[in-house]
Structure 1
Amino acid sequence: MSKIVEDPRSRTSTTALVATGGITVALAWLECLLIRQQLAVGLWVTVVAVVATCLVSFDARKHVAVGASLGAVTVVAQVAWLVTDFHSLWVVTAIAATALGFFLLGSAWAGSSGNPRRATAAVPAGLAAVIAMVVSALMITTAASPAPLVRSLQALGHSNSFEPAAPTAMSDSNGASRTSDIEYGSSLPNSFLDIYIADNDPSVSRPTYVMVHGGGWIAGDKADGDSESVTNSPYFASGAGPVLDAGYNLVSVNYAFAPQYRFPTQTIQLGEALQFLNTNADRYGLDMSRVVLAGSSAGGQIVGSYANVQTNPDYAQALGIEATMNRSALKALVFDSAVLDVGRAGSPQSPSPSNGFLYDIGARSYVDTTDAAWLARANVTENATSDFPPSFIADGNTGTFPDQAAELSAKLDRMGVANRLNLYSKNEAALPHAFMTTGSQWTDEYNRTKIEFLRGSVR
């Protein structure tokens, strides 16, 4: 009985095809996940694609032209993407690299037909291939457009609605009276806000602190962290509580989500909320002649854009939005881990791949990141003028945007606009994105510093 002897060269070729194919698919996935680190990933994709093309030319037993073409398209599209930054080339690269990787793996499988272990490996290999193809399809779909992923996530939680979460009602919350789910507009979804009156005493004249929540422009809620709401993060205890204790009434605002509603819709919507509050100030016991606007993360960009509309006529004209607030009433701004440059949302400092991916998904939903003109209009720092309100600018130092915070502070310094930059060194503590929403000594210090700054600006 003759013995089957496997050709050593065939074994080596198969191993090379499997390894290179697997690496190519993995890099294609990374290409989709790490869009803002395209240089580091892109160079590896290019190198591996060249190696893959060489392997195909020598070792693929059939359809060599197909493999060589996929390799060539991957290299050309990747280099063009690195040079031009055109989004469509990124998608082409992801598709071509993924197809090239699967072609190599398929070639390796076809070339192992004489291997007696092939039948045993058929089921697990087939399962792995199906899983890899499903993941690849999801990655490429998200690379082309984040909308399907975002809408799937919104279907599970926060979404656009013209109906309030509950009927308007009054309750006690953290020692303040809370009037929840007040409708401030009817033309856009999520046009609801909550009002908190400190010490449950609307007869006392207090400045009004208006909060705009974060969530990457695709999620979040005005009641996040309220002990009376379904969700209960520490935000009110660590952020809103000190504001109420410092003698402010507080308003928390909802707004429409991207991608269904994109920039500058949310800027317009914030204007509608403030107009409503101004019209109904007496009804709710608010002093709208002394207003502080505060925004966390994506909410910071919305607040900054609104402030630019009020203080920069050229910017307001470019967006086609009229000012809705008396500039003298806008006493100060608070930026908490704000995304001030939407185009760099996917590039947080002390790089965090997961944060960068999520921020970029939100940014691409909110603004067409291939449109340089709209990206420039969404940039808070770029459009700020010497009439910009006094600003308290704070951020963490890990997976967030301290560089953008420092840039806004530096520009305001140059223009003579009062501001306070509240950043901490990593030598003191590693502070994440929106660290001020979690209870810690750094949160306490942040609150003390913020209230002290506002005391000098809000009179």
Structure 2
Amino acid sequence: MKRFLKWYIGLNIILIVGLIVATEVSPKPGTAMIRYVFNREVPIKDVGNFKKSEEVVNIQKNINYNSKYPRNTFDLYTPKDVKKDEKLPVLIWLHGGGYLAGDKSLAKEFATYVVTKERVAVISMNYELAPELRYPGQVVQVNDLYKTLVASPEKWTNFDLTKIAFGGDSAGAQIVGQYVAIQTNPLYAKEMSMKQLVPKEHLKAFISYCGPLDLQQMKDLPKKEVLMKFFARTVAWDLIGDKNWKDSPVVTQASLTEHVTSDFPPSYVTDVNGFSFLPQGQAFVKELVEQDVPVQSLFYANEEQPIYHEYQFSYDTKEAQRCLAETLAFLKVTLKD
């Protein structure tokens, strides 16, 4: 028995050491672990409310948008009773998943509630993941989607693209937020070699659910945040393609706090204190305030029991219900006539 125990402990030590060595050589082991965690079906949380809501919502899945990159599809959520001549404001949403995982279907419950309550057309888009596509390819794909919509208005007769909002959760919030910053900051657009295509007066709102909006903070995480440091290292290595990602100018370039101007649209920002990006959200809100941009925030920062990343989709909790109610009210104001 003692011999077996020594063998078992020794084997585990070898495996742990081997894993550590492997992650020093390549991000692939970390990538596999992150994808295992994120690539799981997310169950509907508020089953009763969702069943009532989905009865009045039409979903068109896997619509293609023009892009040279893969995973160029989106799901479209609209009211079933939409009239032929009715014009709906549009919310373009990007899913989370640490840039390495996730899918547009993750927004199903959220999108259904938005359509039901506010009569907004919700586009939940896919984008190619890292490391298969490096930065800033995902931002380019947001641009590809927008160009597809405006190029063929006859296909989207119920869309009012003069009232458009962009939002996302986790990594999706950073990606789409960067696109919004490009549209509202001409110097940034030039730096990114992208044209400003969305007219400023049409860009009505931005929503960030637990988004990493000040990526520079990831370079100086406290030692005690071992898991977050591992996560940041793996993701950045995959996304940028550089093991020495902390020295890359991309980290500053992709930080929204560095590029917002007074033309950035009204924003709703939320985050929590459990394995998330709370300080980054707070820094972003502070920058918006300094730029006189209207902003509403919901931060769960001081709870004794941590509230964890992506809490906002757990609609069986009072915290998520509050976030949803505030989001709907925010959209009602920003997308109104």
What is the TM-score with the length of structure 2 in the denominator?
A: 0.84
Equivalent position of 1:408 in the other structure: 284
Distance 1:452-1:154 versus aligned 2 partners, 3 A rule: closer
Out of 85, 110, 134, the residue aligned to residue 262 of structure 1 is 134
Q: Is the contact made by 1:217 and 1:363 (CA closer than 8 Å) also made in structure 2? A: no
Does structure 1 retain, via aligned residues, the 8 Å contact 2:107–2:124? no
1:348 is displaced (CA, Å) by: 7.7
Aligned residues with identical type, % of pairs: 25
Letter in 1 for 2:183: Q
State the Cα distance separating 1:148 from its structure 2 match: 4.6
Q: Deviations over 1:113-169 (max 9, x none)?
A: xxxxxxx966654554344223212222213431354258659996xxxxxxxxxxx
Runs of 5+ consecutive residues of structure 1 not aligned to the other structure: 1-119, 159-171, 227-235
Which residue, 112, 117, 121 being the options, matches 1:249?
121
Q: Give the C-alpha shift of residue 337 in structure 1.
A: 0.4
Aligned runs of 1:226-375 on 2, under 5 Å? 226=108, 236=109, 239-244=110-115, 245-284=117-156, 285-345=158-218, 353-367=226-240, 368=242, 369-375=245-251
Candidates 75, 80, 101, aligned match of 1:199: 80
1:132-147 aligned at under 5 Å gives the runs 132-147=13-28
Q: 1:427 to 1:135 in 2, by over 3 A?
A: closer
Question: Which residue does the alignment assign to 2:296?
Answer: 420
Cα 1:281/1:352, change in 2 over 3 Å: farther
- Asked if the contact 1:184/1:273 (under 8 Å) is kept, the reply is yes
Q: Per the alignment, do residues 422 and 342 of structure 1 end up closer, same or farther by CA in structure 2, a change over 3 Å counting?
A: same
Secondary structure of the residue aligned to 2:106 is: coil
Q: Which has the larger radius of gyration?
A: 1
Structure scoring higher RCO (CA < 8 A, sep ≥ 6) equals 2
8 Å CA contact retained: 1:174, 1:241: no
310-319 or 123-132, larger mean C-alpha shift: 123-132
Q: How large is the RMSD of aligned CA atoms in angstroms?
A: 2.8
What is aligned with 2:256? 380
Residue 443 (structure 1) aligns with:
320
Distance in 1 (alpha carbons) for counterparts of 2:38 and 2:278:
29
Name the structure 1 match of 2:46: none
Find the aligned partners of 2:67 and 2:172 in 1 and give their Cα distance: 21
Structure 2: which amino acid aligns with 1:141?
Answer: A
Q: 1:185 to 1:379 in 2, by over 3 A?
A: same
The residue correspondences of 1:119-158 to structure 2 (distance < 5 A) are: 125-126=6-7, 128-150=9-31
Q: SS in structure 1 opposite 2:155?
A: helix
Among residues 321, 333, 337, which one is paired with 1:456 in the alignment? Answer: 333
CA distance in 2, matches of 1:155, 1:127: 25
* SS at 1:289 equivalent: strand
1:223 match: secondary structure: helix
User: Residues of 2 paired with 1:402 and 1:124: CA distance?
Assistant: 43
- Structure 2: give runs of 5+ residues left out of the alignment: 40-52
The aligned counterpart of 1:15 is: none
- Pick closer, same or farther for the CA change 1:282–1:430 going to 2, 3 Å: farther
Give the Å deviation of 1:295. Answer: 0.9
Query: Is the contact between residue 278 and residue 301 of structure 2 (CA under 8 Å) also seen in structure 1?
Result: no
Which structure: greater helix fraction? Answer: 1
TM-score by length of 1: 0.63
Q: Which amino acid aligns with 1:253?
A: M
What is the distance in 2 between the residues matched to 1:197 and 1:191? 20
Distance 1:444 1:134 in 2: 43
Tell me how far 1:252 sits from its aligned partner: 0.2
Residue equivalent to 2:48:
none
Partner of residue 222 from structure 1, selected from 100, 104, 109: 104
